[in-house]
Chains A and B, each alone.
Chain A
Amino acid sequence: MRSFLAQSWQIYRKDMVVEYRTRERVVTMFVFSLIVVIIFNFAFNAGADVIQRVVPGMIWVAFAFAGMLSASRSFSPEKDRGTFEGLLLAPVDRGSIFLGKLMGNVTLIGLVQLAVLPLFVLFFNMTILPYLSKLLVIFFLGTVGFSSVATLFAAVAVNTRMRDVMLPVLLLPVASPVLIALVETTRGTLEGGDWQDMTNWIRLLSVFTVVFLVASVLLFEYIVEE
Chain B
Amino acid sequence: MGNGSIPGIGVRQLTKTYGRFRALHRVDLDVAPGSFLALFGPNGAGKSTLLGIIAGLVRPSRGQVFLDGEEITKDRDESLGQRIGVLSYQTYLYDELTVLENLRFYGKLYGIDNHRERIEELLDTVGMASRSGSPVRTLSRGMRQRVALARALLHDPDILLLDEPYSGLDQDALAILKTILAERNKTILLVTHDLARGLESADRVAILNRGRLVFESGTRDLSQVEFERIYRDHAS
Contact = CB atoms under 8 A, between A and B. Distances in A.
Interface of A: 3, 6-7, 10-11, 14, 17-18, 21-22, 81-83, 85-94, 221, 225-226
B92 interface: yes
Give 5 closest A-B pairs by Cβ, nearest first. A86-B92, A91-B81, A82-B90, A90-B109, A226-B58
A21 B96 contact: yes
Contact of B106 (A82, A86, A225): A86
Contacts of B59: 225-226
B211 to A, nearest CB: 15
Contacts of A221: 76
B149 to A, nearest CB: 14
B96 A89 contact: no
Contacts of B81: 89-92
Most buried by B among A22, A83, A94: A83
A3 B105 CA distance: 15
Contacts of A3: 111
B109 A226 contact: no
Given A18-B94, A90-B106, 6 more contacts: A7-B109, A17-B96, A81-B94, A89-B55, A90-B110, A91-B78
B79 interface: yes
B92 A22 contact: no
Given A226-B57, A226-B59, A89 B95 contact: no
B78 A93 contact: yes
A10 B104 CA distance: 10
A3 B79 CA distance: 13
Contacts of B82: 91
Contacts of B86: 89
20 contacts: A10-B108, A11-B109, A14-B94, A18-B94, A18-B96, A21-B96, A81-B94, A81-B95, A82-B91, A85-B57, A89-B86, A89-B92, A90-B110, A91-B78, A91-B79, A91-B82, A91-B155, A92-B81, A225-B57, A226-B59
Contacts of B84: 89
A90 B157 CA distance: 12
Contacts of B207: none
Contacts of B94: 14, 18, 81, 83
A18 B108 contact: no
B169 interface: no
Contacts of B97: 14, 17-18
Nearest to A222: B59
B120 interface: no
Contacts of A93: 78
A91 B92 contact: no
B78 A88 contact: no
Contacts of A89: 55-57, 81, 84, 86, 92
B63 interface: no
Nearest to A87: B109
A144 to B, nearest CB: 24
A32 to B, nearest CB: 22
A196 B101 CA distance: 50
A82 B108 CA distance: 19
B139 interface: no
A91 B108 contact: no
A89 to B, nearest CB: 5
Interface string B47-60: 00000100111110
A159 to B, nearest CB: 12
Interface in B106-136: 106, 108-111
A85 to B, nearest CB: 6
A178 to B, nearest CB: 30
B99 to A, nearest CB: 14
A91 B158 CA distance: 14
